[in-house]
Structure 1
Amino acid sequence: MNVKTTVSLSESTLREAEELVRKGEYASLSDVLEEAARRLISERHDAVDPLTGMADEIRRRMELPRDQWIPLKGDDMFNEVRALIRSRKQGKKDAV
């Protein structure tokens, strides 16, 4: 169901939208604004879902050739992270 509403646009935005209609890229100004609103809403939903971005990045990295992967050092990596966390905690205690 379409709902009629009134919007205000800057002159330059209106000119650009009218140009899109004149070129035949959209049938009407309403179609231009509807598409713009849909894209904005879609971008906001994507931005709210960080897991989507992480999943895309993991997929991208998985497609790299195996020789470009960064090797994990197994438990050493976790030990290094734990040591870093301990040192930062110790630094906070020393600052107090």
Structure 2
Amino acid sequence: MNIKTEITLSEYHLRLAEKMVEEGAFPSISSLVEAAIEQIDQIKHPGDAVSGMADEIRRRMELPEDQWIPLKGDTLFDDVRALIRKKMDEKQDGV
């Protein structure tokens, strides 16, 4: 059950959150806030690794389909390596 609420963020934190959503790290600002709260909860109340992994899997399942890496059998690892290289190159180029 989702409950709508209102929060106030500094301009800096709002821009940072919007950038993370634009870059595809989170599907929405709401899911970013939820992930941050979950992370704080895990620090304060460390649970088992499996429940933390389950939360991360759920978060990633919410990502847009275009951010998924397609499974192509024998080329999967090469595709992942190419994607990582591309992301690293983009960071170096300031994209």
* Structure 2 length-normalised TM: 0.46
Comparing both structures, which one devotes a greater share of its residues to helix? Answer: 1
Q: Which has the higher contact order (CA 8 A, sep 6+)?
A: 2
Q: Which protein has the larger Cα radius of gyration, Structure 1 or Structure 2?
A: 1
